[in-house]
Amino acid sequence: MTKSDLPLSRPFAAVEPGGALHCGKVSLESLARRHGTPLYVYSADQILERLGLFQRALNGREHLICYAVKANSALAILKLLGTHGAGFDIVSGGELERVLAAAPEAVGRVVFSGVGKTAAEMDRALEAGILQFNVESEGELELLAARARKLKRVARFALRVNPDVFADTHPYISTGLREHKFGIDIRRALDIYKRVANNRWLEAYGISVHIGSQIRSAEPFGAAVERVSKLVQQLRRAGIELRVIDAGGGLGIDYHATHFDAAAKVAEYAAALETSLGGFGGTLLIEPGRFLVAQAGALVSRVVNVKRNGRKTFVITDAAMNDLIRPALYQAHHEIVPVRPQAGRAQAVDIVGPVCESGDFFARDRKLAPLAPGDLVALLDAGAYGMAQSSNYNTRMRPAEVLVEGNKARLIRRRETMADLLAPEML
């Protein structure tokens, strides 16, 4: 991977031919020396650039971009996005607390999704004054009405309907078919909206759809929104006027490509939604997560050892599946590049971690330039579902996190200590 390739879709590049990788203007080597490894490094500049792509593409329509907090819930990233006008899509009470801590001014731009909201979570969200609950079952709607009545707060809601649209993605992150746990059958939604129309504690505010994640074609999004738009028209004829269509998230990136035209992808996506919305005059709400932060982040790791077993060569790093589980969980691909390339012929190696599991790998039979103990490697496109899914498996401390803005880098999460891990336990 060359200097000319990397900047096109990622903020990690060498500032001079053959030199070390930088994030923006900050050397990854210097960050590793200062903060140790494994280390997550994020580009604030690229996150804001991606947010701006959506804001410009949807400029002709009333819209709200609600960042999917589950992709990366770092407080500093939430504050960065909230300051620049983003709302937030949350799926737990804990994520609400993160938004309240990082961007309290944005609480009125929060939508609460998820299939298992508890009464306590609903109460907290009602008291905080969030924008909308995305309701996923009739039982949940009944509970929401009861909590709203008890607190004497009107709950704005949108039914999350299941449009039965197939999205070509990993089965673990496909959510738009009838056999999935998410949403309400779109054919039942009209009757549900009618049934609660006179409930003084419920306000039918919008309608929501989400068909999955890491979807790289705009067509499924358009198909889903088209079905939702027809339902909105039926509701209007029944005297129920919705103010929001929530098209969900799920727009994917290309983890393999050295060049990814993010602007073209967002334009295609926005055009598909606009066409499918028809004459809807309300607000379009979208929930991007991965698209905003994935390529803005990298996991920097140091080579511990290079081990040869017969014909196999294993590059063992100090990062492991507990730091980045996506390859083990989803068989996901991440580009892996030396932070400072060495001369020599590339060879096929397995990049693995030190965790006591055969599934602890980042790549198998990947052709890489020569690596030696002490070298640094960067696992690219790790800004989404990296730190967010990390764990302390094998009693390993989770990495530190650094946010780079221009030529400045700041620590936004310190590395855990053994004291942190042992503190909640009792003998």
3-state secondary structure of 5: coil
Residue 66 designated active-site: no
Q: How far is CA 281 from CA 185, 207, 229, 417, in A?
A: 24, 14, 11, 52
* Angstrom distance (rounded) from CA 85 to CA 96: 17
Which residue among 179, 344, 356, 425 is the active-site one? 356
Sequence-ordered list of residues with C-beta below 8 angstroms from that of 362, at least 6 positions apart, any chain: 317, 319, 324, 327, 334, 336, 351, 352, 353, 379
**293: closest CA among 5, 38, 13, 51?**
51
Instruction: Residue 360: name the closest of 391, 399, 401, 400 by CA.
Output: 391
Reference 249, options 295, 284, 211; nearest CA is: 211
Place of tokens 């944005």: 106
The answer to whether 362 and 324 have CB atoms below 8 angstroms apart is yes
**Cα separation, 419 vs 417, whole angstroms:** 5
3-class SS at 100? helix
Contacts 24+ apart (CB under 8 A), 271-274: 271/218, 272/218, 272/219, 272/221, 272/222, 272/225, 273/221, 273/222, 273/225, 273/247, 274/60, 274/61
Residue in the block written with tokens 């505010």: 205
Strand partners, 317: 303
Residues marked as catalytic: 356
